[in-house]
Amino acid sequence: MNPLIQLKTTPPLLIALLLACLALSPRARAVVPAPDGGYPGQNTAEGQSALLHLAGGTYNTALGWASLGFNVTGNYNTAVGAATLLSNTAAENTATGAGALLSNTIGNDNTANGVLALFSNTTGFENTAIGSGALINNIVGNENTAVGDGALDISTGNFNIALGSGAGANVTTASNVICIGANGNNVDDSCYIGQIFGATSSGGTAVFINSNGRLGTLTSSRRFKEEIKPIEGASEALFALKPVTFRYKKAIDPASTSQFGLVAEEVEKVNPDLVIRDKEGKPYSVRYEQVNAMLLNEFLKEHRHVQEQDAIIARQQKQIEALTAGLQKVSAQLEASKPALQTVKNDD
């Protein structure tokens, strides 16, 4: 991805104007070799017009043509590369790469490592951009982290994270978005991870997340369990559950796909242990994997009941067969005695 192509918010004219201002400066016209150090206030400048307008700032380091060129009173800044931190007047910024943080004026605690990284940033603070053109269009967004060439295309969003070349390309104004190897979408409080959907992991296990954002799997080995005992009658709570059909609200599912499931608040009334809660302790979801275990218990109970009934039926079948055999024997005996009875009757 070419960061120059995706530059939207800061026109190239800005660079030309800033450089023109430097060219017109009296100090800029005077050809004076830039010292290796020795500026007051523990400042160091190396390169033509580096720290050109410094007047009171301390502990700044400028290496490269016009680096920190307009910095006046900003402190603890480090600029390495042509025109890095050119417009800066703030403190504690670090820029490495030509044009990195070029437009920054009063944004503090930013780190840009890469050509044109955080190029358009003016007032945003505590942003980290690593990679050519990373966070190139950010203007006032704060506390964003972008690692990868052209990562994160935001202009005003806050607290976003993007990892991978071009990651977060669709995130412009949203906040609290995480994109790992994915373009993502401009939706607040969302997470996107590439190369998972459609990739089968045969023999794997499901991944769960708790209200603190921790990922993990459910283990089934006895090594990790205690107080193991049969479910017994606890699974009978299933008979009080009320499965429903529903659709998520448009903000969650714009496609409004028909769903089947349970309502957490209703499940809580039946068995609170079957409910997942959010950080505020409110019902959030249902522990469907626990419902499955309870269903299995009820199935096994019913299976045992059927087996018992089958055993009873088998015994009854044997009794019926024995009675049938007895009746057939008696019937045969009666048939055999009919001639004799007829002779007796005739003699009478």
CATH 2.150.10 fits 1-199, yes or no: yes
| Sole residue written with tokens 């070799």 | 33
3-state secondary structure 107-152: CCCCEEECCCCCCCCCCCCCCEEECCCCCCCCCCCCCCEEECCCCC
* Extents of the domains making up the chain: 1-199
pLDDT surpassing 80 at residue 15: no
Question: Contact, 115 vs 132, CB < 8 A?
Answer: yes
Q: How many other C-beta atoms can be found within 10 angstroms of the C-beta atom of residue 331?
A: 10
Residue 12: per-residue pLDDT? 53
66: left (phi over 0), alpha (psi -120 to 50) or beta: left
Residue 1: per-residue pLDDT? 43
pLDDT surpassing 70 at residue 344: no
Residue 81: per-residue pLDDT? 95
Residue 334: per-residue pLDDT? 81
The span from the CA of 212 to the CA of 154, in Å, is 26
Q: How many other C-beta atoms can be found within 10 angstroms of the C-beta atom of residue 113?
A: 20
Average pLDDT, the chain: 87
The span from the CA of 101 to the CA of 4, in Å, is 14
Angle at 156 between CA 173 and CA 57, to 5 degrees: 165
The span from the CA of 250 to the CA of 337, in Å, is 88
The span from the CA of 131 to the CA of 138, in Å, is 14
Rg (CA), the chain: 39
Burial class of residue 88 (count of CB atoms within 10 Å of its CB; 0-12, 13-18, 19+): buried
Question: Contact, 155 vs 166, CB < 8 A?
Answer: no
Question: Contact, 123 vs 106, CB < 8 A?
Answer: yes
Question: Contact, 108 vs 94, CB < 8 A?
Answer: no
Give CA torsion, residues 7, 11, 12, 16, to 10 deg: -150
Residues facing residue 96 across a β-bridge: 80, 113
Per-residue pLDDT reduced to its tens digit, 67-87: 999 999 999 999 999 999 999
Q: What percent of the chain has pLDDT over 90?
A: 69
Tell me the mean pLDDT in the region 38-64.
Answer: 89
Question: Contact, 323 vs 331, CB < 8 A?
Answer: no
Band of pLDDT at residue 159, cut at 50, 70 and 90: very high
pLDDT surpassing 70 at residue 34: no
CA atoms within 13 A on the CB side of 345: 6
Question: Contact, 204 vs 190, CB < 8 A?
Answer: no
Closest CA to 95 of 75, 115, 73: 115
Q: Tell how far CA 301 is from the center of its chain.
A: 40
